[in-house]
Amino acid sequence: MSEKAICVIGYGKIPDDRLDIVRQEFEWAIGTALDDGYRRFLAEFKGVGLLFVRCVNEWREQYTDIFMEVAFDPKRCDPLTCEEQELLSTCNGIWPLPEGSQEDYPLAVTRYLAGRSKRVIVVHGEELDDDTAYAMGYVQVMGPELRIVQT
């Protein structure tokens, strides 16, 4: 963890009536991170991570040195829409899931994202699922700053 990086981890779907609140949380966190010198942003290219990538991209005109990296496994994604293909093309780095990690996919993604970040945003619904609980525990043990956004 040599450079300042911030990531988002979340395994559930954001309810439509909470989407604006989560977007505002992301925009605040990204703006604060940029003010604090962060330029590396990480997310899974799926679910909550897609919203995070969109929010990061909104800052690119003002901060041209932003580096957006995504964990992406085409085997676990439906065929990408044209919008998602365009969004993926804006990312500077793509981390493919290592072979043999399919069974532990959420854990591998959590370890990758949180292990490279000094700040972690964890998004979860009212019910805390096992993957998100693991992510929160992992972050607490590893020591990055943790911000929790409940949907």
7-31, pLDDT tens digit by residue? Answer: 999 977 889 999 999 999 999 999 9
CA distance 9 to 131: 10
Q: What is the pLDDT of residue 143?
A: 85
Residue 35 pLDDT greater than 90, yes or no: yes
φ and ψ at 63, to 5 degrees?
-125, 90
CA distance 150 to 103: 26
CA distance 118 to 19: 25
Tokens 């041209």 -> residue: 64
Best CA proximity match to 6, nearest among 146, 124, 125, 134: 146
Domain carrying residue 99 = 5-150
Q: What is the pLDDT of residue 1?
A: 47
Is the Cα dihedral 131, 138, 75, 151 positive or negative? positive
Q: What integer best gives the mean pLDDT of the chain? A: 90
Q: What is the pLDDT of residue 114?
A: 94
Helix (H) or strand (E) holding 6: strand 5-10
- Provide the whole-model pTM: 0.91
Tokens 């003010």 -> residue: 35
CA distance 64 to 13: 30
pLDDT in tens, 90-124: 999 999 877 665 668 888 899 999 999 999 999 99
What's the number of domains the chain is made of?
A: 1
Q: What is the pLDDT of residue 96?
A: 86
Residue 97's CATH number: 3.40.50.450
